[in-house]
Amino acid sequence: MTRAKRCLFRLPALIGAGLLAFFAFQIAWNASAGARWPLLAFHLKYPPGYVPGGGTPLTLANLLDGAYQRDAAVRLGVQSMIYREAVRWKHQIYYSLLGLSGVSNILVGKDRELIETAYSNEYCRRDPDEMRKAALPWAERIRTLQDEVQARGQMFLYVVTPSKVALHPEYLPSGWPCPGRAHGAEKMEIYRQALRAAGVRFVDGPALMRAALGHYTLDLYPRGGIHWNMIGAALAGQEVVTALNAQGANLSPFTFTVGTTYDAIDWDQDLYEILNLVIKDPYPVPALTYQSQTDGPCHPNRIAEVAGSFIFQINEALEHTACPPDVRPYFYWKNLTTRAPNGFLRRQPENPEQRRADILDWANIVILEENESSLPNSVHGNKLMALLGPNAEARR
C-alpha cells in the first residue's frame, strides 16, 4: 500500500479524532474561560425540552438503576456544539427511514401518525368492569361539586375532552398489543350514563368528535399533534356556549367555516416539535373563519377553569366570538396560564391565594375539564373538590 493510500485509509479516523479533540477543547473552554468571559464562550443551542441546571442527584439508588449516569451523559452531551443537530438528524433517520420514534414517549403509528404513549397505554389497558366500579362514585362527586358551585350563585360546567387513540385506534401500528381495544369504546359509554344518572351538566367531547367523523374533509386530529384540531375544539366550544347560556350566561353563539392550510403550527404539530425533526412532512390542517354577533352591549362572563391542555383550544374558539369571555385557566390546578401576545402560552408561578380568589370570588362560571384518558378521579378534579366541597365556606 502506498503512503498516499495509507493516509487516505486513515483519514476518517483522523477526522473523527480531530472532532473529538475539538469538542473536548470546546467543552473545557466553556467550562473555564467561557464561564468567566461569556462573550468568548462557544454558543450552545439546547435541544427542545432540555432545562439547564438541576439534574439527578448522586445517590446509591440513582447509581444502581442508571438514572444518574443517563442524566450525566445528557448534561455532558448538551455542552457540545454538535449535540443538538446530531439528535435532530438521529430522530430524522429513525422517523423517515425506519418509521420509528427517537423519543420514548412518542409512538409512530400507521401513515406516520404520531401518538403519545400515555394515551395508547391508557387505551390498551381499558377495563369496562373497573370503569363500572369507578364511574358513578366520581360522577356523584362531580354532582356534589356542581351543587356547591351553584349554591354560591355561580354556574358550573363539566367538560370531557377526547383521546386521539380512542377516536382512531386504527392509527396504532399493525400488531400492536392492545387487549383493551376490544372494548375501548365502552369506557365513555359507561361514564356518560353515570354522569346522566348523577345529573351532571356536561359537554361530551368524545361523542362530538365521533359524530363529526366523515363530515369534514380533514381529520379531527392532526398527524403530528397530541390534541384535537380547531374543528373539534370549535364544535366543543359551541356546546359550551349552549350549555352555559341555558344556565343564564350571555356567551355569544358562533358558527365557523373550514379552510385548509399546510402551515401546521402550535397544537397542530406539538408532537413534531418534541420529535425535533430537521425536515417535517407537510400535512393539511384546518384554518377556521368564525362568524358571531351579539344582540346588545358586551358584558363578558368571567370563567375560572381547572383543566388540562385541551381547554386552551376551546378558549381560542371563544376568543373569536362577538363578546369573548374573560377566562382564567388553571392548568391542572397549579398554574394560571394565559396566552402571550406572541401566541405562546405563559404559565405564571403557582399562587394559591389568587387561585382561591379567582374561583370563589371573581368568576361567575366555573369549568372543570378532564380528558377521557385520565378520568375518573383526576388529581386536579380532587383539588377543586377540596376547595369547593360540601359546606364550602364563604358561600355567596
What residue numbers bound the domain in which 70 lies? Answer: 44-80
Is there a single domain that holds both residue 121 and residue 75? no
| C-alpha span between 92 and 106 (Å, rounded) | 14
Largest CA distance in the chain: 94
On the question of pLDDT at 58 being above 80, the answer is no
In total, the chain counts a number of residues equal to: 396
- Answer whether 110's CB lies under 8 Å from 170's CB: yes
pLDDT at 91: 85
pLDDT at 50: 59
Does 93 fall in a domain?
no
Does 25 fall in a domain?
yes
Is there a single domain that holds both residue 189 and residue 52? no
Is there a single domain that holds both residue 220 and residue 281? yes
pLDDT at 26: 66
pLDDT band for position 355 (50/70/90)? very high
CA nearest to 296, candidates 357, 252, 348, 361: 252
Is there a single domain that holds both residue 196 and residue 344? yes
On the question of pLDDT at 158 being above 70, the answer is yes
Question: In which residue are the cell numbers 349552549 written?
Answer: 242
Domain final residue pick, 26, 57, 80:
80
Q: How many CB atoms lie within 10 A of CB 97?
A: 8
Domain total in the chain: 3
Helix extents (H) in 99-227? 117-124, 128-151, 164-167, 186-198, 205-212
Is there a single domain that holds both residue 306 and residue 375? yes
Does 102 fall in a domain?
no
Q: What is the pLDDT of residues 61-106, one digit of tens each?
A: 777 777 777 777 677 666 676 777 777 888 888 888 888 888 888 9
Does 228 fall in a domain?
yes
Question: Regarding predicted confidence, which is higher, 55 or 346?
Answer: 346
Is there a single domain that holds both residue 141 and residue 225? yes
- Give the pTM: 0.82
Is there a single domain that holds both residue 65 and residue 130? no
Is there a single domain that holds both residue 283 and residue 337? yes
Does 376 fall in a domain?
yes
